[in-house]
Chain A
């Protein structure tokens, strides 16, 4: 069970937003993580180095968060089958659909993109339906 965390949620959202605005108006790039990550394959070109640094920042961020009194979850309570199937679908879906929670949900809607609004409504809906099915119809097997 998790409890409603009002202050941390609002604070976290504001920090995400400040980061995305900083990157967009600083170096002109959107904080769409699936796209930045996928295109790490082009990292040999100096104009793409920023991708590596942004991802590195994500990787080392827990050390900074720790000093502020926030930590990562102590364990990932997800079954192996859910990890593999979920990972595959997240990989396929974010590339085919041109974005994930950050790119569509924050940067896209934030720029009032109708395309991103539609994508976000769709992935939120299918995620809610998936959790409903897993919890109510498959809970004895998964």
Chain B
């Protein structure tokens, strides 16, 4: 059942990315181009997602002590706004702005077989491994 839910959620998430056109880099570029011919569509994507997620999360969190098909919720424990968060998010934004692609849409686009998507995923995996060295550098205390 756990695995079925993971598969179903993945399919549904992919459909959401396709319906909202998050999978189209041009749509991302025009959303980010606020001083040009701005296309605000993706603000509606995030807005409608959050408008549903925030209240339903609050309600279900109070109703359910644990997930329906698992023993516990795996939630991040970090609450600190630290240097890695700021630097990492900044770098991710630059990469997203350059390519118009973020991880979900890259994976959803794989089946079209475009070599650029495959190359993007290879570069992303390489970047993920390089990140270990960035993390080590950032974790060296200055004081």
Give the total of A residues in contact with B, Cβ under 8 Å: 108
Given A64-B11, A93-B92, A129:B97 Cβ within 8 A: yes
* Residues on A with beta carbons closer than 8 Å to the beta carbon of B39: 2-4
Shortest distance between the CB of A6 and any CB in chain B (Å)? 6
A64 to B78: give the CA distance in the assembly, Å.
36
- Contact (A91, B108) CB under 8 Å given A4-B41, A86-B101: no
Q: Is the CB of A22 within 8 A of B93?
A: no
Cα distance A126–B95 in the bound complex, in angstroms: 9
- Closest CB of chain B to A57's CB: distance in Å? 2
The B contact surface, by secondary structure, is helix
CA–CA, A118 and B30, complex, Å: 23
The residues in A between 38 and 96 inclusive whose CB is less than 8 angstroms from any CB of B are 38, 49-51, 53-65, 68, 70-73, 75-78, 80, 82-96
Contact A37 B25 (CB under 8 A): no
Instruction: Please state if B102 and A90 are interface contacts (CB–CB under 8 Å).
Output: yes
Q: Is the Cβ of A97 less than 8 Å from the Cβ of B88?
A: yes
Question: Pick the contact of B10 from A11, A18, A54, A130 — CB < 8 Å?
Answer: A54
Q: Roughly how many angstroms separate A53 CA and B123 CA in the complex, as a whole number?
A: 23
B18 touching A126, Cβ below 8 Å: no
Q: Are A92 and B49 in contact (CB under 8 A)?
A: no
- Is the Cβ of A28 less than 8 Å from the Cβ of B74? yes
List of A residues within 8 angstroms of B45 by Cβ:
9-10, 12-13, 16
A89 to chain B, nearest CB (A): 3
* Neighbouring A residues of B116 by C-beta, 8 Å: 76, 78, 80, 83
> Quick check: A123 and B124 within 8 Å, CB to CB?
no
Q: Please tell me if the beta carbons of A10 and B13 are within 8 angstroms of each other in the complex.
A: no
A118–B32 CB distance below 8 A: no
Q: Which residues from B are CB-within-8-Å of A131?
A: 29, 32-33, 97
Q: How far is the CB of B127 from chain A (nearest CB, A)?
A: 2
Residues from 1 to 44 in A contacting B, C-beta threshold 8 Å? 1-6, 8-31, 33-34, 37-38
In angstroms, how far is the closest chain A Cβ from the Cβ of B116? 5
**A104-B89, A110-B57 known, 17 other contacts, Cβ within 8 Å:** A16-B16, A22-B9, A30-B75, A33-B104, A33-B107, A57-B7, A59-B10, A64-B15, A68-B15, A73-B21, A76-B25, A82-B99, A95-B88, A96-B88, A123-B92, A126-B92, A130-B32
> B: which residues have CB within 8 A of A?
2-27, 29-30, 32-37, 39-42, 44-50, 52-54, 56-57, 60, 64, 66-76, 78-81, 84-104, 106-112, 114, 116-117, 119-132, 134-135, 138
